[in-house]
Amino acid sequence: MRFPVISAVALTAVALVAAACNRPEGSGAQEHGIDVAGMDLKVAPGDDFFAYANGGWDKVTPIPPDRSTFGLFATLAELTTQRTADLIKAASADKPAAGTEARKIADYFDSFSDEAAIDAAGLTAVKPKLDEIAAISDRASLSRFIGASLRADVDPLNATNFHTDNLFGLWVSPGFADAGTNSAYLLQGGIAMPDREYYLAQDAKMVGFQQAYQKHIAAVLALAGMPDAEAKAAQVYALERKIAQAHAPRADSEDVHKANNPWPTAEFATRAPGLDWPSFFKAARLDTLKTLVVWQPAAIRGEAALAGSEPLDVWKAYLTLHTLDHDRAVLPKAFRDEGFAFYGKTLSGAPQQRPRWKQAVDATNDALGDAVGKLYVAKYFPPKAKADAQAMVANIVKAFSHRIDNLAWMSPATKARAQAKLKTLYVGVGYPEHWRDYSDLTVVRGQALANLEAADLADYRHALAKIGRLVDKSEWWMTPQTVNAVNLPLQNGLNFPAAILQPPFFDPDADAAMNYGGIGATIGHEISHSFDDQGSQFDETGRLANWWTPADFAHFQASGDRLAAEFDAYEALPGLHVKGRQTLSENIADVAGLCAAYDGYRASLGGAAAPSDQGFTGDQRFFLAFAQSWRFKAREPALRRQVLSDGHAPDNFRADTVRNLDAWYAAFDVKPGQRLYLAPANRVLVW
């Protein structure tokens, strides 16, 4: 969970689907149980639990050439992508009527897939936008273009370090003070690399990225036919670096108390001079709003000042670059290849591009996600799967409630508010209660770029239409075919999409140890996000409000500090340590979620002894199921990027979360002197 969109949590892919769902090839999971062959029994579990559970798998599993990372999560994503492609092709084969969702899906997918037509069109489709940039003649026209380009495209995986092709980002969600009404939030944007540190850090790796990005800028501008491309690239990079300098650091962006800044739109000109705000608001269709919540005030002021001070020719080159980079997937091959060379190879380390059909599935999901989701749910998520998932959620919620009641350090007053929040938690399972309507989206076969722009604009209008309206607590932020899960503190809600509720992470034929170690830990993780260092600051209505006694909150913060220090000690790459504070929300949820899942597992046994199987006790299999769900490998650039800019610690360290639970020590006879051993007083449970 990351603010401001409470980011999608790319963690244990869990599953609660009927046996009709196939086990993904290459998952490494032994049918109905632990993958014993994928373990490394030569490693002591107390020294490196991730390696003990996954060492054998790690030695024989390569990262596919079109990926920068790989693991069980990616395996399930690949299966879902194939299934989705088959559904789209089947819909197209049925020759759906014009204007129907099935026809729009088929036309969008086929248009994106037709690289020959895209190459033949050259820059014809994007030329009107490039001409509009070239015609910018003053600050008002610059502001109008920036406003007209505003989109509600906040990246849910990295929203607090919002990097976008637009100078700002718009987010529409429940208000901080009034969680019953949707508010509009303005966010920092305008940088292409993952985080401000990629521009500002001076170590050799980062300087290499900076030099490579400047070469990428020059290459794109040259492909567009811009004279003096290298000189222009230096100017564009210098501007983008100034934007990065203005950006709020991640820690500030994640402090929601620093984000609650309602600005009257009439005062933007004095609060953030430089940009022609009236022209911006009118072009962005925000001119009727009285107030916008500014998430990063210093960044908005800095970016607005640059709009007023930097030469127009530099801005025009900058906007040309970002337009072409944004559209590169539907531009000629030279642009696609150049984009992959930098963003795919250099920044992420992937040797090859993803096959075009996979890119087309992703693009179609982005444009028509709920429409595709209907097809996916009908085929792969029967009613029994939903009922089973809801039952498991209820069990874990009950276990979490018991944990709250049994907290010795928490006062009755704070416990009552925590229980109230838990009771009002909305849990969406499988798919949304209300599907999005795409009747306003026009898709034209053979017009890949026009379709992309139409989908972006439709998403923006969809967001604008919610401003000032009552919040639908059951609104989903993910599509059913998304292999992920999310917690939404401002809605006090959870989403568990259908695609994450399938094997190998849950097996209807496996025992409780396997399922609670897999789906149980993930369900517990998402529930726990409502009570992590960020979620704990929102009450049962989703309002930003303090519901803690001072003593209780001080104790909670102290536990968080200890957990942050625990993760600070982990070294992901030589000299590059995990950032315990940056990953604290996820780490709290991992620990608390695992505790709740373990309690639910033991309760499911009804007092009976945990049965042994495959040569392991029930408790051992519970913890091994948890650790094997974290199977993951990353190329060096991707791992570096994660440590620097992601709210999730590398997965091997998340598997070692077990070191905070007493039951793990008993299960594997972990002794003092072993690397993961923590004295009882140093084990951090938080909840």
Instruction: Specify the 3-state DSSP secondary structure of 354.
Output: coil
* pLDDT value of residue 158: 44
* pLDDT value of residue 104: 98
Closest by alpha carbon to 195, among 647, 651, 652, 576?
647
- Domains of the chain by range and CATH? 36-60+383-432+476-682 (3.40.390.10), 127-330 (1.10.1380.10)
Structure tokens, 432: 């949304």
For tokens 């969109």, name the residue.
5
* Contact indicator for 133, 226 with CB cutoff of 8 Å: no
Show the CA angle centred on residue 445, arms to residues 443 and 450, nearest 5°. 55
Element (H, E) at 188: strand 182-188
Side chain identity, residue 422: L
Name the DSSP class of 170.
E
Chain centre distance of CA 355: 22
Tell me: cis bond preceding 504? Omega within 30 of 0 counts: yes
Structure tokens, 218: 């020059």
Pick out the chain residues at pLDDT < 70.
1-31, 154-164, 504
List, in order, residues 6 or more apart from 6 with CB less than 8 Å away. Answer: 156, 477, 486, 487, 488, 489, 490, 529
* pLDDT value of residue 524: 92
Query: Rounded distance, CA 543 to CA 299, Å?
Result: 25
Looking only at the bridges linking them, the beta strands covering 262-264 and 291-294 are antiparallel
* pLDDT value of residue 558: 94
* Helices 139-148 and 297-309, packing angle to 10 deg: 140
Structure tokens, 585: 């929300």
Structure tokens, 202: 């001076």
Closest by alpha carbon to 536, among 675, 417, 401?
417
